Amino acid sequence: MTYPRPVAVIVLAAGEGTRMKSSIPKVLHTIGGRSLVHHAIAAARGVEPAYLQVVVRHERDRVAAHIAECDPDALVADQDEIKGTGRAVECGLAALPADLEGTVVVTYGDVPLLTSSTLADLLTAHASAGSAVTVVTAHIDDPTGYGRIVRDAAGGVARIVEHKDATDAERALTEVNSGIYAFDSGLLRAGLAALTTDNAQGEKYLTDVLGYARAQGRAVAAYAIADVWQTEGVNDKVQLARLGAELNRRTVEAAMREGAIVRDPATTWIDTTASVGRDTIVHPHTQLLGATSVGADCEIGPDTTLTDTEVGDGATVCRAQALLAVIGPGATVGPWAYLRPGTELGAEGKIGTFVETKNAQIGAGSKIPHLSYVGDATIGVDSNIGASSVFVNYDGVDKHRTVVGDHCRMGSDTMYVAPLTVGDGAYSGAGTVLRQDVPPGALAVSGGAQRNLEGWVPAHRPGTAAARAAEAALATEQGEQA
């Protein structure tokens, strides 16, 4: 992509967002795995500005800390008590070098579907036309609340009028201001200095810079885009959900075009930061969140949520939940499994039905088939953990670790009381409680010899169904023996 690099991009993120009715600052609400302002920063960073400036005000420290996490190189400027987008840009520009020359792009922190590609096209159009100001516009069916583009007789942009200041005729216009601009830096600096608060809202409107440019005989152009979603901002939680659904639709469609097989796009959620390999089947009601990476030829879902999880080629994950886990190539997980942070399942391994794991490294080919908890453990290769086993890792104060070697065959209902080491090739009997290390090749058992107290049920539970059944069976046996 070839385009003129901007000298700066200023992202406006100072608003309180009262219509969100939330204790969370508006720009910190998330869709597609990123905050609204993170989406804006990512789009801005994509056109490689010399300076990327974010203007903040409401919950300044909280928002600024988040910006530093999203992009450590982004600059933060503070808007003062004077209201308006014009003042916000003025504060942002004042925090940049005074001799700044070139194109300055202005975007918003609550327009999450805006792309770097659109910003690059804006920069190209702005440079080609030689304009002092270029504004991104769109035609929408219901322009209520948006600033209208008022054109002159020649079709040029005469001015932008805010909805509350517009006449009835101007409100009938359907071409709206997106709030996204490319400015000549010198014109912008002079235009901002000329702004006043003489309007219905008592604010400094950035849109008035266009009128200033016209008055100076400078060209003002519009760059109209057909994809109106890229101009839509988030003002309340209804819009948040609406834009989130549209972003997800685009993300899922992109995954399919790259080779993923999504059975039901309507119930599949894939974050913009996640990836899915070629010919991987994604079943309904699956969520791939955060930095999740799924390899090729996998089968994921249904009813599965993977967050920040790595899945190797050819793995199968069914009706499971995983967070900060690694699932090796060809491994199988689920159904009804829960992989907590630190779980690493080796190639061709298995974590089966109703199994929970945490901070557990499970070697290639090893299996935990069902009804078990494995926490703070290392299991070698090709070992089998019997059903209903528990790695007893917590003594009420500290967590302890269990190590199980290679090629072990551990019986059902084994309790591993950590700290504990089970040597290679060891076995345990069903119902064993392991409190001491098991040497390689040993069979560990902890129960005594079985005793049968004959006649106990009829004697101690007379009149019960069990007693009657036992008495009938005993009578039958005695009759057969007679």
Q: What is the pLDDT of residue 1?
A: 54
115 domain residue, yes or no: yes
Do residues 226 and 357 both lie within one domain? no
Q: 137 near 149, Cβ under 8 Å?
A: yes
Q: How far apart are CA 206 and CA 87, in angstroms?
A: 8
Do residues 222 and 291 both lie within one domain? no
Query: What is the set of active-site residues?
Result: 370
pLDDT digits (tens, 9 = 90+) for 219-228: 999 999 999 9
pLDDT digits (tens, 9 = 90+) for 90-139: 999 999 999 999 999 999 999 999 999 999 999 999 999 999 999 999 99
pLDDT digits (tens, 9 = 90+) for 294-340: 999 999 999 999 999 999 999 999 999 999 999 999 999 999 999 99
Q: What is the pLDDT of residue 155?
A: 82
Do residues 226 and 265 both lie within one domain? no
449 domain residue, yes or no: no
470: Cβ contacts below 8 Å, ≥ 6 apart: 457, 458
pLDDT digits (tens, 9 = 90+) for 174-207: 999 998 999 999 999 999 999 888 877 788 989 8
Do residues 154 and 273 both lie within one domain? no
Q: How far apart are CA 372 and CA 321, in angstroms?
A: 15
Do residues 54 and 177 both lie within one domain? yes
Q: Helix, strand, or coil here: 190?
A: helix
- Give the amino acid at 217: G
Q: What is the pLDDT of residue 196?
A: 87
270 domain residue, yes or no: yes
pLDDT digits (tens, 9 = 90+) for 243-292: 999 999 999 999 999 999 999 999 999 999 999 999 999 999 999 999 99
Look at residue 165 and tell me whether its pLDDT is greater than 90. no
103 domain residue, yes or no: yes
Percent of all residues in the chain with a pLDDT value above 90, rounded to a whole number: 87
- Give the amino acid at 152: D
Q: Which domain holds residue 399?
A: 260-444
Q: How far apart are CA 425 and CA 422, in angstroms?
A: 9
Q: 150 near 65, Cβ under 8 Å?
A: no
Backbone angle region of 382, left / alpha / beta, with phi > 0 → left and psi within -120 to 50 → alpha: left
Q: What is the pLDDT of residue 202?
A: 82
Give start and end residues of each alpha helix (H) in 205-342. 208-215, 237-257
Do residues 277 and 205 both lie within one domain? no
Q: What is the pLDDT of residue 2?
A: 77
Do residues 269 and 124 both lie within one domain? no
53 domain residue, yes or no: yes
Do residues 214 and 282 both lie within one domain? no
pLDDT digits (tens, 9 = 90+) for 354-397: 999 999 999 999 999 999 999 999 999 999 999 999 999 999 99
Do residues 214 and 103 both lie within one domain? yes
Q: 409 near 384, Cβ under 8 Å?
A: yes
Neighbour tally for 198: CB within 10 Å: 10
Look at residue 412 and tell me whether its pLDDT is greater than 80. yes
Q: φ and ψ at 67, to 5 degrees?
A: -60, -40
Q: For the chain, how many structural domains are there in total?
A: 2
pTM: 0.90
Q: 26 near 36, Cβ under 8 Å?
A: yes
| CA 417 to centroid of chain Cα atoms | 37
Paired with 183 in beta bridges are 104, 133
pLDDT digits (tens, 9 = 90+) for 19-78: 999 999 999 999 999 999 999 999 999 999 999 999 999 999 999 999 999 999 999 999
Closest by CA position to 190, among listed 203, 165, 163, 208: 208
482: Cβ contacts below 8 Å, ≥ 6 apart: none
